Homo-oligomer: A and B are copies of this chain.
């Protein structure tokens, strides 16, 4: 692994950085010998020692990974805010080392027998905030923030083929992303919003009523927040608190749909506010002032 892979490592250590810079192509080149040499010529002895120390540490971590007989481990890229599994590939030592230094999810292509950084063609990089190994040390999570759709098809993630739908001959339907509960709910609300112009017979759904009546929606949000508070004030039981929180979340998400705000944007804000220890409270206090 080239030393040049490592000299930004110190700055890497922010577990959940906010809005990481997108354009950092310096570290992707496979032929960075010239850059390495020139950077080393000008590097101070301290920097050089630091680089060597870091390189040694990275090598130790890489030594601890149980690479398979092809020198590979499974690498899964996951959206740090939504939890969506974006894609899965394989990584060798160099791919992980490159990901550590560049903070762009990098894999080893088995078909092309070469490294590849997701986004090097599409510019839809996955900006890696943290990397996790599993208990057996043969599986890796790149936890990061994608710059755009991850799949080469333009889909947000590569997982959009639901097996149970295939078994029900629903393969002609639109692709369905593998959504977890919060985003499945968000998707349902968005669907209802998209149907607002379509006349409907019978009693309108509750979501439809909320979407059509802002006054009703806002009164419900205030009411549910009040009921959540009363679970604490009146010492109500846990299931009641969970249920009231579910009400708050659902009604607030209907409002977000009307404002065209995604939960991912909300979580992005929360990550930026709370991810850096110590800064959390100060920012929050300032915002209360």
Binding site for B on A (CB under 8 A): 9, 12-13, 15-16, 54, 57-58, 60-61, 74, 76, 78-85, 87-88, 96, 100, 130-137, 139, 141, 143, 151-153, 155, 158-164, 166-169, 178, 180-182, 184-185, 188, 203, 205-208, 214, 217-218, 221-222, 224-226, 228-229, 231-233, 238, 241-243, 245-250, 252, 255-256, 258-261, 265-271, 273-275, 280-281, 284-285, 287-288
Contacts and interface: CB of A to CB of B under 8 A. Distances in A.
B274 A178 contact: no
A164 B136 CA distance: 18
Contact of A166 (B61, B80, B288): B61
23 contacts: A15-B162, A57-B167, A61-B167, A82-B180, A87-B134, A130-B162, A132-B162, A132-B163, A135-B160, A137-B161, A181-B268, A181-B271, A184-B271, A188-B280, A206-B285, A207-B281, A229-B255, A232-B255, A238-B259, A238-B265, A242-B265, A245-B261, A250-B274
B162 A280 contact: no
Contact of A141 (B153, B178, B266): B178
Nearest to A151: B135
Given A83-B180, A269-B242, A134 B158 contact: yes
